[in-house]
């Protein structure tokens, strides 16, 4: 655009806003402002696609503030003029702070409203509405039902939706799309402005925003302003020493060291990880290494997150370890580098995360992907190349989600009191995700809601109205995010909340005395308050603790990314087969991908070994099936969702043939099946060759009827239909009953649609089967496991617990156990009890009062066991009897094996039975004894979620 165009953008704004721009020091607009302000001033709907930090907020809001200022000058503003909708409360806070200045200068009242807004503030907003209200999609739902707020909302002229790409692919977005049409019924047409990160299909996101109405798309090319580097750390001698300090493997120590070196080379670094568990585990290793790094994720308390954000912004932290919530535009100051630990899995995610760095004008955003595994190296290379070329994934909109329709029909009934079904149908189908909603499907939803007493249907007049249960339903279901029970983690010493834990983790792991990691720090559980839903903790300096599990699905690797990995394998295999060496091929690949030859070689090495072994290489157009024992593996480069779909199909059909269940584990490059004895790889191959691609959906629906995935989705969907009280039906038996009752209802249809939409890719799997039939996709069998096949991504790899316990690890385990505290209690006289460190226990503990060796070695926090032992035997309840029996088994092992038993009993998850097994292995080598203990601890960590 010419210099005239530059001036034009700001010149289109009124004098008050231009004066404010000068005062703020904004002399020339950024590219999004340059291109988007003119159509926005003209009142057009628009989608602005640009990286975070390029002035997107001001791009959207300057024309809006200008229009409000002009209307106020003419005395035409009464209620709320503009809504600014963000997906995160933290963004609400940010936007309020950013807009406050403009509001003060332009005499425009800006306020924020979300779930934590006080009742006083809500009443004030209803009685004296602000000109601009910053809110969340869920709070908008609540506002639409309030009598005074509806009056205030009837004046809305502009709605800005921030991070619209984040909402478009979720049911929250589908809910918002109908919510905006409900608002339109109230206020008439209003201007819609969407702010989005880079997406592969901006037109689709634009349609989502406007309901398919005309929209101007302003897309700023981000790919010319980002650069990536992929590294695979090599283990150095120093990493061996560091692994001892960090109680981890040398490989993991090399990752910590590599990230630390990157952090030290930059002033302020964001380190993105893919899960909260990884954030906590990696954070704890950084803390152990003395690094000045904060941890930030959605299960930390608001105060804890703000504390880390402010410390990072003030330069008090060198880096912040974070998950996807920090992808969005939360203001944490200037960032000059982004590290992505593990593959980012998606092109859009890499662009968005690295795009957070270097936001000074015309600065290049730089990022480093630290890959830890051959598959991951290849995947990261493919993603980085695709990101540089602008080959971004499309947004997967939830089209026609029936529970969202149910949710919004209750809201529409609240809006109007009485409303014709025809009008309600028109409102719903104006929203883009529901434009093709079948009228009969709509009526089925209405009938289901009538049956569940969520609303009342007058069939004769074809009219919907509220029922006794409508108000309660609406306020219990303001959000489309499934409810998950959580416990508050409360630091008793500081008197504040630290974060939250999933109910499953608390039930399966937490008990007084156990230690776990949160905020990268160690905490010991003091007590669990079931009534308050609170875990009271105190901070400790212990280097080891459990990493909490939080509910959350793995980021799926898309089909196109996995296919490019397959193409890279094919090209490399051809070079190896022609006689080229690993170093030469790596150097060649490094000319086309952003990594050095050493990193590329890490990714290529299994391919070289595969060729050397004479085994076929799985590629983008070749599936290699291998089998050994009861394991059948498909090496297939189709990504998570297609492979999950093929895996479910194979396990269902093989299970049907044999009458036995088939184990399934799938990833982006492999499908692993554990089959009954006698099932051969040729049978799996036959299914791929013979299954009609047209029948995939029907076959999967049959197989899903027995799956936990469908049962739990059904429970969540049923709650949104008002068909299930969340406090009931959590057990498997209950869910089976619910499934039977709901099978021929829209509840079941929606649960099935959601599983297909979220976890599977029926179309992609059908296409694979069609390619097999047309022979454009080769399927070959190989008799044994191959280097590529055996090299699956170790998603469960622990940062804290090494796979193989070498001498340094054994020493660390021994020292940890020796420093643990134990409570020795005499069960013979009942008069002696002593708390001490394990290292201070005598080789054969005995009571100083009566001389007995019947001594129980209990946890210092096992007060309930001591209470049970001290209770009158006549008055003990069943639970106390079990505790006493367990204490006597404990004492029997200590009596037989002395201090060795005390050591084993001090380990995590090792009770009397497991302690006896470890000791009875008759290990002569002390190191083997500690290896056995470590293996028991690992087994406990792996299986505790199923207990």
Max avg pLDDT among 96-110, 116-130, 191-205: 191-205
Percentage above 90 pLDDT, the chain: 55
Taking each helix axis as running N to C, give the angle between helix 912-920 and helix 878-897, from 0 to 180 degrees, rounded to the nearest 10. Answer: 20
- H helices of 265-316, in order, are 276-288, 302-313
The predicted structure's pLDDT at residue 703: 84
Which tops the pLDDT comparison, 754 or 123?
754
Termini Cα distance of the chain:
64
**Which pTM value belongs to this model?**
0.79
- Distances in Å between the Cα of 472 and the Cα atoms of 114, 218, 722, 739 are 19, 42, 10, 25
Per-residue pLDDT, 504: 64
Chain segment 836-848, per-residue pLDDT in tens: 889 889 999 999 9
The yes-or-no verdict on residue 946 having pLDDT over 60 is no
Q: What is the pLDDT of residue 543?
A: 60
DSSP single-letter state for residue 534: E
* pLDDT value, residue 718: 92
672-682 pLDDT tens trace? 998 888 889 99
Weakest-pLDDT range from 380-394, 604-618, 811-825: 811-825
pLDDT the model gives residue 517: 80
**Which alpha helices (DSSP H) does 44-170 contain, by range?**
56-73, 89-106, 119-127, 137-143, 147-153, 164-168
Residue 625 tokens, joined: 């099936």
What does the pLDDT look like over 875-913, one tens digit per residue?
898 889 989 999 999 999 999 999 999 999 988 778 888
Confidence category of residue 601, pLDDT binned at 50, 70, 90: very high
**What value does the mean pLDDT of the chain take?**
87
pLDDT-derived band at 584 (thresholds 50, 70, 90) equals: very high
Mean pLDDT value across residues 493-501: 81
Give mean pLDDT, residues 821-825: 91
Q: With the CA atoms of 12, 16, 18 and 21 taken in that order, what torsion angle do they form, in degrees rounded to the nearest 10?
A: -140
Q: Which residues contact 6 (CB under 8 A, 6 or more apart)?
A: 28, 29, 34
- Tell whether the model's pLDDT for residue 537 goes beyond 80: yes
pLDDT above 70 covers a percentage of the chain that reads: 91
Domains of the chain are 3-220 (3.40.50.300), 225-388 (3.40.50.300), 402-476 (1.10.10.10), 486-540 (no CATH), 615-790 (no CATH), 807-946 (no CATH)
Q: Which of 363-372, 753-762, 770-779 has the lowest mean pLDDT?
A: 363-372
| DSSP class per residue in 227-262 | EEEEE-PPPPHHHHHHHHHHTS-HHHHHHHHHHHHH
User: Does 509 score more than 80 pLDDT?
Assistant: no
Helices (H), 347-420: 347-354, 374-388, 402-416
Mean pLDDT, residues 608-631: 94
Q: Give the model's confidence band at 552: pLDDT under 50 very low, under 70 low, under 90 confident, else very high.
A: low
Write out the H or E segment, with its range, that includes residue 625: strand 622-628
Which range of 647-651, 812-816, 856-860 scores highest in mean pLDDT? It is 647-651
Structure token digits, residue 28: 């020339």
Query: What pLDDT was estimated at residue 5?
Result: 46
C-alpha 598: how far from its chain's center? 31
Q: What are the backbone dihedrals phi and psi of residue 740, each rounded to the nearest 5 degrees, phi first?
A: -65, -40
pLDDT of amino acid 861: 72
The 10s digit of each residue's pLDDT in 21-53 is: 999 888 888 889 999 999 999 999 999 998 776
**Which pLDDT tens digit goes with each residue over 717-741?**
999 999 875 434 444 445 667 777 8
Residue 792 pLDDT: 63
pLDDT of 216 strictly over 90? yes
Return the pLDDT at 650.
94
Distance CA(844)–CA(838), nearest Å, equals 12
Please, are residues 91 and 162 in contact by the beta-carbon 8 Å criterion? yes
> In the prediction, which pLDDT does 506 show?
73
Degrees to nearest 5, angle at CA 300 with 86 and 713: 70
CB of 824 within 8 A of CB of 845? yes
Q: What is the pLDDT confidence band of residue 464, given thresholds at 50, 70 and 90?
A: very high
Question: CA geometry: angle at 669 spanning 667 and 671, to 5°?
Answer: 60
**Range with top average pLDDT, 374-378, 489-493, 739-743, 831-835:** 374-378
Query: What is the tens place of the pLDDT at every residue in 257-292?
Result: 999 999 999 999 999 999 888 888 898 888 888 889
CA distance 154 to 590: 59
Q: Say how far apart CA 150 and CA 213 lie, in whole Å.
A: 24
What pLDDT score was predicted for residue 462?
A: 93
Residues 6+ apart with CB under 8 A from 59: 30, 32, 33, 36, 37, 40, 48, 50, 195
Q: Does residue 458 register a pLDDT over 80?
A: yes
- Assess whether pLDDT exceeds 80 at residue 811: no
Position 508 confidence tier, pLDDT thresholds 50, 70, 90: low
Identify any residues that bridge with 193 across adjacent strands, giving them in sequence order: 46, 160
Provide CB contacts within 8 A for 593, sequence distance 6+: 230, 381, 384, 385, 600
The pLDDT of 424-430, averaged and rounded, is 98
């Amino acid at each position: 655009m010419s210099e005239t165009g530059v001036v034009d953008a700001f010149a289109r704004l009124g004098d008050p806003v231009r004066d404010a721009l000068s005062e703020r020091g904004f002399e020339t607009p950024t590219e999004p402002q340059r291109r988007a302000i003119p159509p926005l001033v003209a009142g057009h709907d628009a989608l602005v696609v640009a990286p975070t930090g390029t002035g997107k907020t001001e791009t959207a809001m300057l024309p809006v503030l200008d229009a409000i200022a002009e209307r106020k000058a003419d005395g035409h503003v009464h209620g709320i003029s503009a809504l600014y909708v963000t997906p995160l409360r933290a963004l609400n806070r940010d936007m309020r702070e950013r807009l406050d200045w403009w509001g003060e200068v332009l005499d425009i009242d800006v306020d924020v409203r979300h779930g934590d807004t006080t009742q006083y503030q809500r009443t004030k907003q209803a009685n004296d509405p602000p000109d601009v209200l910053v809110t969340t999609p869920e709070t908008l739902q609540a506002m639409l039902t309030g009598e005074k707020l509806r009056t205030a909302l009837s004046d809305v002229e502009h709605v800005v939706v921030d991070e619209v790409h984040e909402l478009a692919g979720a049911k929250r977005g589908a809910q918002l799309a109908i919510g905006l049409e409900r608002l339109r019924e109230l206020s008439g047409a209003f201007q819609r402005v969407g702010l989005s990160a880079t997406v592969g299909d901006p037109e689709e996101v634009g349609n989502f925003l406007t309901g398919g109405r005309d929209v101007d798309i302003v897309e700023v090319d981000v790919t010319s302003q980002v650069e990536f580097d992929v590294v695979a750390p090599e283990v150095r001698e120093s990493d061996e020493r560091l692994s001892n300090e960090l109680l981890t493997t040398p490989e993991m120590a090399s990752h910590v060291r590599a990230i630390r070196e990157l952090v030290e080379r930059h002033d302020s670094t964001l380190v993105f990880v893919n899960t909260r568990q990884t954030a906590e585990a990696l954070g704890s290793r950084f803390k152990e290494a003395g690094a000045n790094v904060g941890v930030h994720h959605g299960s930390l308390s608001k105060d804890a997150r703000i504390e880390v954000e402010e410390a990072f912004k003030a330069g008090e932290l060198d880096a912040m370890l974070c998950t996807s919530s920090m992808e969005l535009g939360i203001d944490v100051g200037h960032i000059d580098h982004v590290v992505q630990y593990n593959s980012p899995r998606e092109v859009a995610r890499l662009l968005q995360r690295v795009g957070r760095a270097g936001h000074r004008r015309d600065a290049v955003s730089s990022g480093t992907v630290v890959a830890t595994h051959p598959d991951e190296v290849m995947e990261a290379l493919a993603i980085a190349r695709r990101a540089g070329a602008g080959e971004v994934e499309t947004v997967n909109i939830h089209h026609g989600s029936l529970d969202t329709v149910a949710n919004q029909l209750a809201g529409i009934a609240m809006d109007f009191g009485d409303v014709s079904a025809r009008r309600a149908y028109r409102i719903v189908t104006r929203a883009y995700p529901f434009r093709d909603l079948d009228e009969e499907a709509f009526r089925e939803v209405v009938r289901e809601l009538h049956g569940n007493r969520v609303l009342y249907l007058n069939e004769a007049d074809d009219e919907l109205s509220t029922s006794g249960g409508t108000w309660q339903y609406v306020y219990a279901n303001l959000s489309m995010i499934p409810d998950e029970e959580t416990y508050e983690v409360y630091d008793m010493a500081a008197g504040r909340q630290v974060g939250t834990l999933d109910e499953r983790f608390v039930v399966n792991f937490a008990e007084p005395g156990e230690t776990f990691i949160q905020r990268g720090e160690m905490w010991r559980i003091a007590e669990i308050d079931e009534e308050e839903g609170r875990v009271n903790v105190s901070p400790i300096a212990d280097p080891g603790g459990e990493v909490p599990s939080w509910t959350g699905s793995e980021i799926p690797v898309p089909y196109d990314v996995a296919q490019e990995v397959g193409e890279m394998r094919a090209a490399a295999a051809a070079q190896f087969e022609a006689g080229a060496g690993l170093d030469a091929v790596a150097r060649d690949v490094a000319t086309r991908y952003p990594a050095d030859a050493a990193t590329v070689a890490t990714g290529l090495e299994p391919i070289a070994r595969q060729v050397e072994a004479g085994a076929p290489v799985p590629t983008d157009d070749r599936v290699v099936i291998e089998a050994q024992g009861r394991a059948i593996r498909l090496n297939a480069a189709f990504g998570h969702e297609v492979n999950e779909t093929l895996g479910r199909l194979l396990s269902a059909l093989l299970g049907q043939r044999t009458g036995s269940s088939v184990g399934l584990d799938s990833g982006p490059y492999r499908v692993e099946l554990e089959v009954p004895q006698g099932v051969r790889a040729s049978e799996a191959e036959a299914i791929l060759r013979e299954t009609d691609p047209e029948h995939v959906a029907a076959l999967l629906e049959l197989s899903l009827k027995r799956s936990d995935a469908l049962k739990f989705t059904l429970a969540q969907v049923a709650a949104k239909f008002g068909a299930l009280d969340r406090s009931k039906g959590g057990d498997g038996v209950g869910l089976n009953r619910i499934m039977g009752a709901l099978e021929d209802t829209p509840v079941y249809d929606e649960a099935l649609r959601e599983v297909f939409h979220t976890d599977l890719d029926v179309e992609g799997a059908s296409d694979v089967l069609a390619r097999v039939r047309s022979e454009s996709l080769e399927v070959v069998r190989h008799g044994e496991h191959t280097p590529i096949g055996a090299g699956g991504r170790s998603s469960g790899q622990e940062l804290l617990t090494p796979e193989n316990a070498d001498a340094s690890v054994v020493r660390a385990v021994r020292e940890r156990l020796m420093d643990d505290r134990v409570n020795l209690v005499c069960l013979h006289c009942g008069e002696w009890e002593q708390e001490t460190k394990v290292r201070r226990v005598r080789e054969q503990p005995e009571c100083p009062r009566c001389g007995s060796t019947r001594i129980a070695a209990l946890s210092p926090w096992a007060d309930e066991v001591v209470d049970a032992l001290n209770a009158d035997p006549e008055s003990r309840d069943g639970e106390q009897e079990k505790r006493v029996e367990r204490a006597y088994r404990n004492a029997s092992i200590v009596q037989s094996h002395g201090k060795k038993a005390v050591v084993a009993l001090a380990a995590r998850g090792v009770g009397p039975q497991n302690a006896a097994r470890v000791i009875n292995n008759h290990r002569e080598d002390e190191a083997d004894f500690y290896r056995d203990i470590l293996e028991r601890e690992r087994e406990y960590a792996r299986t505790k979620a199923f207990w």
